[in-house]
Amino acid sequence: MKIILNPTAGRGKSGKIWATVQRLLQSAGLDFEMVMTRRGGHAVELARRARTAGHRRVVAMGGDGTVQEVVQGLVDAAGDDVAGTLGIIPVGSGNDFAKMVDLPPDPAIAVQRLASGGIRHVDVGRAGSRIFTNGIGIGFDALVAVESRKIGRLTGLPLYLLAVLRTLALTYCTPDVRIRMDDRALSQEVTMIAVANGRCYGGGFWVAPQADATDGLLDVVWADGLGRAGILRLLPHVVRGSHLDKQPVHQYRARRVVVEANDPLPMHADGEIWPPATHIDVELLPGKLHVIG
């Protein structure tokens, strides 16, 4: 198997524990080669080469951004075929994709799964030519993702909670958007829109707690235009995943989702910042990825 290591993931933790992970892999009798990323986007190139060279299993060692890049490279190389088989050693700030396949952030358990875990057929999302695994966030939560990049030391849920509070201190206007979800269309003012494949992102915000990455559908969750007080009231419910029955929140399932606005909308995917856009066209690729889990 080919292991793609992002040494900066988890505030540098990934690189620091590689020697330990290497010993675990050797003890498990696994045959592996490791390559290390050197810049943003490098994991895409490395995964594409690995898939083209015939590696049956490619392992992402890092966080959700590393997983996203590796899956992007596998999908690019696969064309219309199944992207390949992905393994994960989760060492990031959020590890939300690992949560989706019930993999805790424990290197020993991750290596055990690589040695003996079963294979899950998992859906993958695509917006234009770009791939995502957990979900796309549009609006307020994308601003939170931007703010989280400015915070040092913290990881996981505490990092994103602090980023939420800092984002609330900024000026934010709730945009008017047009949303098309298969056969349904609407136009309204929103605080945020999540187009979700997995159940959570942002290090533990259960934005789409009913999502299933194997069901062939995207879960679209959006909140009406809210002020600061409304966001603060809703926030604890999003952390627990108990917000779907609250009045400002709506949910729908679809294979294709198009979001449009007159002004560019802030956007992130799997916690990685994507450029703002006025037209976002999202589709699902059912069963595109095999995941060791």
Convert the pLDDT of each residue in 102-154 to its tens digit. Answer: 899 999 999 999 999 899 999 999 999 999 999 999 999 899 888 988 887 77
Quick one: pLDDT band at residue 278, thresholds 50, 70, 90?
very high
Predicted pLDDT of residue 256: 98
Quick one: pLDDT band at residue 289, thresholds 50, 70, 90?
very high
Q: What does the alpha-carbon distance between residue 97 and residue 67 come to, in Å, rounded to a whole number? A: 8
Predicted pLDDT of residue 58: 98
Mean pLDDT value across residues 184-205: 92
Instruction: Give me the CATH topology for the region 2-117.
Output: Rossmann fold (3.40.50)
Instruction: Classify residue 96 as left (phi > 0), alpha (psi -120 to 50) or beta.
Output: alpha
CA 272 from centroid of its chain's CA atoms:
8
Mean pLDDT value across residues 4-32: 95
Location of each CATH 2.60.200.40 domain in the chain: 135-286
Predicted pLDDT of residue 148: 86
pLDDT exceeds cutoff 90 at 226: yes
Predicted pLDDT of residue 93: 80
Give SS3 for 64: helix
Location of each CATH 3.40.50.10330 domain in the chain: 2-117
pLDDT exceeds cutoff 90 at 100: no
41's CB contacts (< 8 A; 6+ apart) are 69
Higher pLDDT pick, 71 / 152: 71
Among the listed residues 192, 177, 174, 201, the one whose alpha carbon sits nearest the alpha carbon of residue 250: 192
Q: Is the pTM of this model over 0.75?
A: yes
Give the CA dihedral 248, 196, 284, 82, nearest 10 degrees. -170
Predicted pLDDT of residue 153: 77
Predicted pLDDT of residue 154: 79
Question: What percent of the chain is modeled with pLDDT above 70?
Answer: 100
Higher pLDDT pick, 49 / 165: 49
CA 184 from centroid of its chain's CA atoms:
25
* E strands in the chain: 2-5, 33-36, 57-62, 85-90, 119-127, 130-132, 135-139, 176-181, 184-196, 218-224, 249-254, 256-269, 272-292
Per DSSP bridges, beta strands 218-224 and 176-181 are unpaired
CATH number of 135-286: 2.60.200.40
